[in-house]
Amino acid sequence: MMQQKLQRLRAFYESGATRTLAYRIQQLQLLKKAILQYEQSLYNALHGDLKRSPEESWVTELGVVMAEINLALRSLPTWMKRKKVKTNLVNLPSSSYIISEPLGVVLIISPWNYPLQLLLAPLIGAIAAGNCVVLKPSELAPATAGVMGALIKELFSEEYVLYAEGDGAQVVPELMNSFRFNHVFYTGSTAVGKSIYQMAAAQLTPVTLELGGKSPCVVERDANITVAARRIIVTKFSNAGQMCIAPDYLLVHASKKDELINALKESIRAFYTTAPANSYNYGKIINERQFRRLAGYLTQGTIVHGGHTDIGELYIEPTIIENVSPDAPVMKEEIFGPILPVITFNTLEEAKKTIENNPDPLAFYLYTADAEREKEWLQAIPFGGGCINNSSWHFTNHHLPFGGRGNSGIGKYHGKYSFDVFSHEKAIMKTPVWFDPDIKYPPFKGRLRLF
Ligand code: NAD
């Protein structure tokens, strides 16, 4: 049954229907319209899965997708144009150009934490580039997966965009082992990412892996502490900390620790009140399994703020902890929840050692007023992307490539980079026939290094 559906996608792709500019633009316009039509149902579903406010869901999900669609609609004619490049001396008078062509049938797999945006932003790139697509949403955000399924099925035929729901451990191997996708775009944990890479390798299928990791946040001695605290709190506790690019832990210069902790506490109270459980602006943990994992971290340091939990409501209070051992699980695993360890440092070298315990983070944040320090830190730490005097917002600028390196992933997307991920750059040299010098043909003897 699934096999037949996949073959139909292949046949539809081979028909060439998805290749024209007009077709791609039309699908993107339809998608944009449908998201606006479904807007309220999507907010309700996201609230059901994550207790997130519509405002936050707009900024982190629907708005991100809209910006991506608008950019693609504006830019697609330029992106699709054949690109003329120079030709080197030895090949003159040939001319050279690059054609961006679709890859074929691609698979997009997404996680539960931003279930809409992490499925649809790659879809926009795949449609813009002219592909047929299989979408595999996360089964762990079922309300959103349900509404997105209705939207996608209403909008697209199954031979163009196929919505494949179900338990990932079962559905994904079934898809990948029986069909040769032309690309697999996966967002999720590093552990599952490795098995996706292995399955793809068996068929030499290229992959993009958008994985997780422990993203450090450094607060230097010269940082504006009040502003730093506000920006750290709003990004750490957005979506109850379940964000791949949230600051995972803080490294604060020892001289600023007390001041920073006081400012952090003040911001928590200002944003989420003294009863965050009832706050409009504060979410819940996705499920009991994640709740138990996170609750376990609370005993691995001294709680300086928060620490209250309620398993019935899947609630964990915004929490700050200190005195954590580098060997504790909370400092070895990606936290992915509302618990913020604070560690002090005196020198860059010392802080770097802590960061190197979890190398290649997806993101890195630095709060400093000193341009020299900024340069030193950026050079010292390998990471995917990041911010200076801010956290997480780099994700929302579609002019920047988004992706990890090493442990945090392979490849990048957003904006034009999404179009590139799902395109092949076909390299062409065209040679006129009026010039055909003998020098390019045997006998070559005695003509060493003539070119
Ligand atoms: P996950 O790896 O458990 O699941 C992601 C997807 O993989 C889901 O669709 C799931 O159904 C599928 N899946 C699960 N088990 C599978 C298996 N054995 N074989 C094949 N597919 C399987 O990830 P998650 O818990 O949903 O998401 C959390 C992780 O994702 C965190 O590590 C986070 O940092 C990371 N993340 C990364 C980004 C990024 O952009 N780099 C964004 C969000 C989340």
Q: How many Å lie between the centroid of ligand 1 and the Cα of residue 173?
A: 14
Specify the residue with its C-alpha closest to ligand 1, atom 40. 210
Residue type, 409: G
Instruction: Quote the distance between the C-alpha of residue 18 and its chain's center.
Output: 25
Phi first, then psi, for residue 370 (nearest 5°) are: -105, 115
Choosing from 61, 210, 322, 334, which is the catalytic residue?
210
| Spacing, Cα 188 to ligand 1 middle (Å) | 3
- For residue 202, give Cα distances in angstroms to 89, 118, 151, 179, 181: 41, 26, 33, 11, 11
Domain ranges of the chain: 2-212+405-428, 216-357+363-396
- The predicted structure's pLDDT at residue 237: 98
Q: Which of 68, 244, 334, 387 is catalytic?
A: 244
pLDDT recorded at residue 235: 98
Q: Is 200 in the pocket of ligand 1 (CB under 6 A)?
A: no
Specify the pLDDT at position 445: 83
Pocket test for ligand 1, best of 192, 207, 285 (most atoms within 8 A of CB): 192
Mutate to test the pocket of ligand 1, among 50, 138, 394 (most ligand atoms within 8 A of CB): 138
Task: Report the complex ipTM.
Answer: 0.96
Q: Is 344's C-beta closer than 6 angstroms to any atom of ligand 1? A: no
Superfamily in which the 216-357+363-396 domain is placed by CATH: Aldehyde Dehydrogenase; Chain A, domain 2 (3.40.309.10)
What is residue 439's predicted lDDT score, i.e. its pLDDT? 85
Residue 333 Cβ < 6 Å to ligand 1: no
User: Is 217 part of the annotated catalytic residue set?
Assistant: no
pLDDT tens string, the chain, 451 residues long: the values are 899 999 999 999 999 999 999 999 999 999 999 999 999 999 999 999 999 999 999 999 999 999 999 999 999 999 999 999 999 999 999 999 999 999 999 999 999 999 999 999 999 999 999 999 999 999 999 999 999 999 999 999 999 999 999 999 999 999 999 999 999 999 999 999 999 999 999 999 999 999 998 999 999 999 999 999 999 999 999 999 999 999 999 999 999 999 999 999 999 999 999 999 999 999 999 999 999 999 999 999 999 999 999 999 999 999 999 999 999 999 999 999 999 999 999 999 999 999 999 999 999 999 999 999 999 999 999 999 999 999 999 999 999 999 999 999 999 999 999 999 999 999 999 999 999 988 889 988 887 675 5
Instruction: State whether the beta carbon of 287 lies less than 6 angstroms from ligand 1.
Output: no
How many angstroms separate the CA atoms of 283 and 51, rounded?
5
Measured between alpha carbons, how far is 125 from 185 in angstroms, rounded to an integer? 11
Q: How far apart are CA 44 and CA 50, in angstroms?
A: 10
C-alpha 119 to ligand 1 mean position (Å): 11
- Ligand 1 pocket check: which of 118, 175, 187, 215 to mutate, most ligand atoms within 8 Å of Cβ? 187
The third-level CATH classification (topology) of the domain covering 2-212+405-428 is Aldehyde Dehydrogenase; Chain A, domain 1 (3.40.605)
Q: In the prediction, which pLDDT does 451 show?
A: 55
Q: Distances in Å between the alpha carbon of 338 and those of 15, 258, 295, 362?
A: 49, 20, 10, 18
The pTM (predicted TM-score) of the whole model is 0.96
The rounded distance, in Å, linking the Cα atoms of 198 and 278 is 44
Query: Which tokens go with 346?
Result: 């005196």
Burial 214-241 (b: 16+ CB within 10 A, else e): bbbbbbbeebebeebbbbbbbbbbbbbb
Residue 79 alpha carbon to ligand 1 centre in Å: 30
Question: Does residue 128 have its Cβ closer than 6 Å to ligand 1?
Answer: no
Tell me, what amino acid is at 30? L
Q: What is the pLDDT of residue 409?
A: 97
**pLDDT at residue number 410:** 98
Q: Ligand 1 in contact with 188 (CB < 6 A)?
A: yes
Which protein residue's CA is at the shortest distance from atom 16 of ligand 1? 169
pLDDT at 403: 98
Cβ of 384 closer than 6 Å to ligand 1, yes or no, is no
What is the reported pLDDT for 1? Answer: 84
Tell which one of 139, 178, 186, 189 to mutate to probe ligand 1, the residue whose CB is within 8 A of the most ligand atoms: 189
333 is catalytic: no
**What ranges in 179-215 are assigned the alpha helix state H?**
190-202
